[in-house]
Structure 1
Amino acid sequence: MNRTPPQHWQLADAAATRALGRELAARLLAARTPGTGGAPPALMLQGDLGAGKTCLVQGIAAALGISEPITSPTFALAQHYGGALADGTATALVHLDLYRLEQPAAAEELFAQEEEEAAELGALLAVEWSGRLGALPPEAWLLELELADPTDPEVGRNATLHTPGGPGDLSEPG
């Protein structure tokens, strides 16, 4: 599958990271296959500890009208949240963290289960530590986060998004 040229952001702080999460949530919802009401493409997150993956998911949750606190599901592996948009449309988020699953087979099994659940719910699926999977789904969006200065986490982050193209892609600023 052809991917669009990557998009790049410099994120000054946690607020900017959450703002990018809100923007991505809107784009992912817009990327649903028209007329199906199904789940949007999965958002695969990669980055070292402290790179801002959970912070970004907090922004996604805010855009989905989810009021529950969003924390990393490192020990639970997966968290499910429900919310509603301003117009009353129900939303859902499945937040997955593969950090503790060092074997690709275990990560792939959990991902397949949660991907199916997200599809049934029409939920947005955000996957932290997606590099634990043997391969990423071709229709998934990949966001790489890294500290701008690894010696100073307060300096900010760099984000790079890779999308497969099609509806809702970020090849043009929105």
Structure 2
Amino acid sequence: MNCANTDLLQELRKGIVTTSAAGTEQIAGAFAALVPENQVLALHGDLGAGKTTFIRGLARTWNIVEPVTSPTFNLYTLYQGSRQLVHLDAYRLASGADLDALMIDDFLAPPWCLAVEWPDRIADCLPEDTWHLYLNIDADTAHRIRLGA
């Protein structure tokens, strides 16, 4: 890992403020290069905090050309690019049993990334090595992105 990568991770651990969707996507794009293969990302944040926007930035970096939208009604969306991206919205899942019923493990093809919005709903099912991102609205136009444990 080079210094720029280390610097980005350190900055994300402190929290990075963005003031636009394009800024959030840019941070996500740089972050995408640091995400290990076959990794779960848990994106925590209120409605409108930028979770789907962040995932859109990951997708662009991984050469996914389809529009990335919130999968609220269909629960998850599968995208294929240089890395398979599964975008899961766990808001309507009541438990890990609901997650198991989706059979996501059955179609993950390496290298993959499972990006989970509303991960608290299925916290007991997330692997120990899950990377947690916290997205918060600091002001009307400012959003904070923080990498945590």
* TM-score in same-fold range (> 0.5): yes
Partner of residue 27, structure 2: 20
Alpha-carbon shift at residue 110 of structure 1 (Å): 5.3
Q: How does 1:85-104 map to 2 (within 5 A)?
A: 90-101=82-93, 103-104=94-95
Q: Counterpart of 1:169? A: none
Q: 1:138 maps to which residue?
A: 128
Select the residue among 81, 96, 99 that pairs with 1:105.
Answer: 96
Amino acid across the alignment from 2:114? L
The amino acid that maps onto 1:94 is: V
> Quick one: which amino acid aligns to residue 72 of structure 1?
S
Structure 1 gap segments, 5+ residues each: 33-38, 84-89, 164-174
Which residues of structure 2 form unaligned runs of 5+? 1-8
Tell me: CA distance 1:105–1:162, structure 2 relative to 1, closer, same or farther (3 Å): same
Counterpart Cα distance in 2 of 1:15 and 1:126 = 19
TM normalised by structure 1 equals: 0.71
Shift in CA distance, 110/78, structure 1 to aligned 2, threshold 3 Å = farther
Say if 1:108 and 1:134, in contact at 8 Å, map to a contact too. Answer: no
Equivalents in 2 of 1:134, 1:56: separation in Å?
A: 20
Q: Letter of the 1:22 partner, please give it.
A: G
Q: Equivalent pairs: percent with the same residue?
A: 36
Deviation string, structure 1 residues 51-97 (Cα, Å, up to 9, x no partner): 000000110000000110000000010111112xxxxxx42111111
Change (3 A) 1:110 1:20: farther
TM-score between the two structures when normalised by the length of structure 2: 0.82
1:57 alignment partner, SS class: helix
